[in-house]
Amino acid sequence: MPLTKNATFRQLATFHAVARLGSVSAAADELHLTQPAVSIQIAALEESARSQLLQRTGRGIRLTEAGELLDGYARRILELWREAGEEMATLQGVFSGTLRVGAITTAEYLLPPMLVTFANEHPQVKVKLQVGNRDEIVQMLASQEIDLAIMGRPPAELKTDSTPFAKHPMAFLASPNHPLMAGPRATMAMLSNERILVRERGSGTRSTIERLFKDAGLPLRIGSELSSNEAIKHMCAAGFGVAFLSMHTCVLEMRAGVLALLPMEHNPIERDWHVMHLASRQLPQVALAFEKFLSTRGQAEIARQLGPAPAKPAPPRPRKTRRAAVRA
C-alpha cells in the first residue's frame, strides 16, 4: 500500500542512516540522537508504510524486501535534497558541492591527481570517487550513484552524453628477459601461442584485447585472469607471460626496467578516455565544471603528472653474418 502523508523527511533520513550503517546505535551516533529516538522514527515510518522495513538479527539489522525498496527511494530523495542545497548556494555565488565521479580501475592511476588539481582550485568542493570495473561503473551511473563516469568506450546499454578528453595508450608488455623481446618483431599470430595475462571479464582492457584477437581471427590463450593490474604487472615482470595493460598503470615499472614494450607493429594502440553522464540527467554545477575541466585540460594534466610516455622500442637489428676472407 502507498505511504501515507504522515511520513516525514526526518524519518526517511533516519531510516536511510540505519540501512546504510547496518545498526541503530551507529545511526544514533551519526545523527546525534538517542537509540530510542531512532527506533521511534523507524516505527513511525513503518506505520506510514504499512510494512516492516527492518528485521533485527544477532549481528544487527537487515532490510526486508519493502525496506530495500524504500531505501533506494530514500537515497535518491536525500541526494536530490543535498544537490538542491548546493545549487542554491551556487546561485548565491558560493561554488561548492560534492563531485560524485566513478572511474574504471585503470583510471585510478591518472584521475586522482586531476581531482586534486580541481579541488585545490575549488576549495569548497568535496570529492567522492568510486572505483570499479567497467560493469560496476556502468551500474553506478545507471542508478545515479555517481554523476560522471570515466572510462574508455561509452556503454551501449545506456544513453549517455560522452566527451573524449585524453588519449589512452594500451600495450602488450613483457619482462625484458622474455624470449619475444630478443627475436624478430612479434605478431598477433605469435601472441596467440603465448600465455596472455588479462583482467577479468567486465573490464575495459579485457574487452579491448578480446576484440583485437577476434579482429585478427586468432584465439586468445589466457594464461591467467586477474582482477588486479598490480597482480598482472608482477606476474608479467616475473616472466610468466605477456600482459596487455593500459600504459598509465605501468609508467614506474617501465622506467625501472622491469617491464618493456613488446617489439611489434602498432604497439601501443591508442584509444580515448571519455567522461560521460546520463543523457537524461541534469548535472549539478560542480559536475559540469569538472566535465569542462577534463575536456579542456585533461590531456595536459595527464602529461604534466606522468611525464613523457616511454619511447617505443627500436626494431631489432639484423644479425651480422661472418664472411670468409677472400684472398687476393
* pLDDT, position 86: 67
* pLDDT, position 93: 60
What average pLDDT does the structure give for the chain? 83
Mean pLDDT along residues 155-170: 90
Q: Which of 60-64, 71-75, 176-180, 323-327 has the lowest mean pLDDT?
A: 323-327
Mean pLDDT along residues 116-135: 89
Instruction: Pick 285 or 165 by higher pLDDT.
Output: 165
pLDDT digits (tens, 9 = 90+) for 74-83: 888 887 777 7
Mean pLDDT along residues 53-64: 81
Residue 321 has pLDDT above 70, yes or no: no
* pLDDT, position 56: 80
Residue 275 has pLDDT above 90, yes or no: yes
Structural domains in the chain, sorted by start: 9-86 (1.10.10.10), 94-166+273-306 (3.40.190.10), 169-271 (3.40.190.10)
* pLDDT, position 325: 39
Residue 38 has pLDDT above 80, yes or no: yes
Mean pLDDT along residues 269-291: 89
Between the alpha carbon of residue 39 and those of residues 14, 23, 55, 57, 74, the distances in Å are 9, 11, 12, 15, 17
Between the alpha carbon of residue 3 and those of residues 8, 27, 45, 142, the distances in Å are 10, 23, 9, 26
Q: At what angle do helices 285-306 and 65-91 cross, to 10 degrees?
A: 80
Residue 266 has pLDDT above 90, yes or no: no
Mean pLDDT along residues 94-100: 77
Question: Between the ranges 122-126, 182-186, 224-228, 315-319, where is the mean pLDDT highest?
Answer: 122-126
Share of the chain above pLDDT 90, in %: 20
**Confidence label for 129 from pLDDT (cuts 50, 70 and 90):** very high
* pLDDT, position 6: 66
pLDDT digits (tens, 9 = 90+) for 3-30: 656 678 888 888 888 888 888 888 888 8
Secondary structure in 3-state letters for the chain: CCCCCCCCHHHHHHHHHHHHHCCHHHHHHHHCCCHHHHHHHHHHHHHHHCCCCEEEECCEEEECHHHHHHHHHHHHHHHHHHHHHHHHHHHCCCCCEEEEEEEEHHHHHCHHHHHHHHHHHCCCEEEEEEEECHHHHHHHHHCCCCCEEEECCCCCCCCEEEEEEEEEEEEEEECCCCHHHHCCCECHHHHCCCCEEEECCCCHHHHHHHHHHHHCCCCCCEEEEECCHHHHHHHHHCCCCEEEEEHHHCHHHHHHCCCEECCECCCCEEEEEEEEEECCCCCCHHHHHHHHHHHHHHHHHHHHHHCCCCCCCCCCCCCCCCCCCCCC
Residue 158 and residue 277 in contact, taking contact as beta carbons nearer than 8 Å: no
Residue 146 and residue 140 in contact, taking contact as beta carbons nearer than 8 Å: yes
* pLDDT, position 320: 44
pLDDT digits (tens, 9 = 90+) for 202-246: 777 888 889 898 998 998 888 888 888 899 999 999 988 899 988
* pLDDT, position 92: 60
